[in-house]
A and B are shown apart, each in its own frame.
Chain A
């Protein structure tokens, strides 16, 4: 009668053992292990190009939360070499927790402008995007809105759409408002924007442009690359219509420039494949990967002089960019989150 139990356990061991071994073998030589906050399908083309170029294999775990905590508790035995993020937020957190090490690389510092990297070289921006104002072609005259500050103007009452105020993209924007105007003024501004919302914040940036097309609102906030994704969408041609319904407004061209945010990377403190990892970071900052990023995801290269994609040139010529160091913006993020709570932005 004990047989079935034994068999079950044997079976279990039979299944579990190879899995464990297979998983552990991921830390062999000539590999880079990546904890990614960016979806794998977005970064895979660049990683494939890197492997083709150097013969170094890349391994990825993607999740939108929890990877920093995983890294923290794995400690010095962690297999992870690089943390890739889609925003400054997690990048800042991972550095704050002391889980990274500086990278002294002339290639990286040469390719990436100072305001897109950590003063102590703990993190590096790899692509940039701007937070645009998407304005209805039909209902908003050209030049009617020119800055983020004007979003709080009562004339826009019931006419603005945006995603959650708690989303990292909006938190960065609020953070930059605090950095430029101080807390009190920024809060007043946020209250004004809240009062102008056409509906409760919901959906992603793409959904806001759609809402403009649908007539729910007249202006929307959204990251720049969504425009590229919509206007070239062959699978869902209706998205081209959404994109065609709006004008792109690059805010604050008369003063500090449009708010920029980044996706970026940091080298982990105990990276077991440090050399290969630095190679990958350098590769991602070089012209080839930079233009691939721009081509595939319609982001702006951070490396000056990288040719932009045709599409970006067509719709988004040169514009003035806010050159505030993102470290400052990141520091203000928690404060921005509290501010969003305080004015009840999402309620």
Chain B
């Protein structure tokens, strides 16, 4: 009898424990998915059906432009990111040590800022064309041809310039982790260095590159600042047009939902293709890479190839911003700046910390209990990344305001006390939006780090008497520190740059560096906000450099 009760108790304890994990995981996933669900909900109630009108008029343009944009930015980012990662990891040439981290620098430059800067530089009254006119004696724009920066091509170039670091980052981490033996084996089997890159290393790095590419694609599809400024009619232009000019938020939500489903299909297809691949690491993966020593034109070619994205994506914009900032420094430097910067810093840090906690919860519970349900929960919670920021902001407002008003009504009824809005219009709302928006970044990173730890470690730890939580803190966390840090820093920088959701959700009199820049830049007054723009970039550099060091350390510490 006693035994039976024991078993029963144990059983109920286990099921309670399982229930705990499930409810905790799903609860978190649902909370994070609430804004996305709200947008779906909006899509159910459009003011009128816009699809007929769109299909007849602008939809084909929106679709082809968006596809061209995604393809162009994707291809250019892969070329730059993979090429850079391979060169700095596997080759030795002048400047390699600098490029290791410098190639990440453009990541700190917001796309809208780089678009403003290059328009300023390359348009008719910009420095480049003035120089050319003086050189050749041309008088007006009709005397010569100069490529127009405000075009689809220009937008592709601008976006690729600042988005390729996603791919660089992940490809480099993958190249660094690849076993040298595989590489050596391919060489002894007669592969040239090029073949061994193309036939061995690249396929192994494919999952990492694919993750990077999906981040790049989602950023591209959701970009509004650049495409709007360049008059490129992409889907996101269509969303805002339907929402603001036709006053049809439901219709806009429909376009946004459709775009999101499209992105989700793309990602699932890629995941499906990847499940067939399994990777193994041999024990000597930390053997120092010797690398190919490049010489002569090859060496300088490599330097040039790595230098180009750094100069165009970072040095030139920073140079121009610094020029403006220095010449107006006395007017620009006010105490407000410290406030704006501290707001940016606080919000971004909170969001980075929270996304890590949530990502850990989701990834770890998925590892502990390999059920379909928990897998779906993790994927579900990452949807926010595939949604344009401003639309997502509305999605954030809906549940938060509903919650606030519910509590208020409750308190009013029972205590005759009005609590007002507790969460809406506070910094919490902004941080919540950041978490929803960027959780995908940290879930991806944490999950892939966790997956690299063999399960025998878990078993050993558990058989030595550790609880799952202790196993996580004592075994897993120290091992995936690098991945966690990467995730935290990427989210931090992304939040620093985030604009539309911050604008809509922030409290009264509450500016961040990004919103401050936008105020002026949207009126084409770059000189008035140069210092703030520069500050965003500079604050973004710090984590970028830290990040790069951590990644290099994964190999070089041995």
Contact = CB atoms under 8 A, between A and B. Distances in A.
Interface string A11-33: 01001100110111011000001
Contact of A4 (B420, B473, B520): B473
B397 A70 contact: yes
A12 B346 contact: no
Contact of A74 (B424, B470, B473): B424
A77 B420 contact: yes
Interface in B490-529: 500, 503-510, 515, 519-520, 522-524, 527-528
B124 interface: yes
Interface stretch (B17-25, B174-182, B242-250, B283-291): B242-250
Interface string B403-444: 011001000000000101111111110010000000000000
A75 B421 CA distance: 10
B509 to A, nearest CB: 5
A74 B473 CA distance: 41
B231 A64 contact: no
B366 interface: no
A214 B143 CA distance: 11
Contact of A214 (B141, B393, B470, B524): B141
B527 A12 contact: no
A70 B346 contact: no
A232 interface: no
A236 B525 CA distance: 10
Contact of A61 (B354, B394, B423, B506): B506
B154 to A, nearest CB: 11
Q: How large is the interface on A (under 10, 10 to 19, 20 to 34, 35 or more residues)?
A: 35 or more
A65 B524 CA distance: 18
A61 B427 CA distance: 13
A342 B57 CA distance: 5
A144 B245 CA distance: 33
Given A19-B426, A79-B425, A236-B527, A341 B150 contact: no
Interface string A78-96: 1100000000010001001
Given A39-B523, A61-B507, A77 B405 contact: yes
A141 interface: no
Nearest to A70: B397
A133 to B, nearest CB: 20
B346 A19 contact: yes
A74 B57 contact: no
A77 B423 CA distance: 12
A347 B58 contact: yes
Contacts of B140: 214-215
Given A39-B523, A204-B524, A166 B243 contact: no
Given A66-B393, A344-B57, A78 B421 contact: yes
A337 B508 contact: no
A60 to B, nearest CB: 6
A344 to B, nearest CB: 7
A67 B249 CA distance: 13
Q: Is the interface of A mostly helix, strand, loop or mixed?
A: helix
A155 interface: no
A236 B523 CA distance: 14
Contact of A63 (B357, B401, B503): B503
Interface in A1-51: 1-2, 4-5, 8, 12, 15-16, 19-20, 22-24, 26-27, 33, 39-41
B498 to A, nearest CB: 13
Interface in B118-157: 124-125, 139-142, 150
Contact of A60 (B350, B473, B508): B508
B510 A23 contact: yes
B420 A347 contact: no
Contacts of B420: 24, 27, 77, 79
B241 interface: yes
B370 interface: no
A346 interface: yes
B3 interface: no
B398 A73 contact: yes
A135 interface: no
B245 A334 contact: yes
Contact of A337 (B150, B246, B346, B394): B246
A110 B523 CA distance: 33
A12 B353 contact: yes
Given A19-B427, A201-B231, A40 B524 contact: no
B427 A66 contact: no
B507 A26 contact: yes
B428 A40 contact: no
Given A63-B503, A214-B125, A236-B527, A344 B357 contact: no
B240 interface: yes
A16 B53 contact: no
A238 B428 contact: no
A39 B243 CA distance: 20
B57 A216 contact: no
B481 interface: no
Interface of A: 1-2, 4-5, 8, 12, 15-16, 19-20, 22-24, 26-27, 33, 39-41, 59-67, 69-70, 73-79, 89, 93, 96, 164, 166, 168, 171, 200-204, 206-207, 210-211, 214-216, 235-236, 238, 333-334, 337-338, 341-342, 344, 346-347
Interface of B: 53-54, 56-58, 61, 124-125, 139-142, 150, 230-231, 233, 240-241, 243-249, 328, 346, 349-350, 353-354, 357, 390, 393-394, 397-398, 401-402, 404-405, 408, 418, 420-428, 431, 469-470, 473-474, 500, 503-510, 515, 519-520, 522-524, 527-528
A-B pairs, top 9 by smallest CB distance, nearest first, are: A215-B140, A59-B508, A66-B504, A202-B231, A23-B507, A63-B503, A341-B57, A19-B427, A73-B401
17 contacts: A4-B473, A12-B353, A16-B427, A16-B431, A20-B427, A23-B425, A24-B420, A26-B507, A66-B393, A66-B394, A73-B398, A77-B420, A96-B247, A166-B245, A235-B528, A341-B58, A344-B57
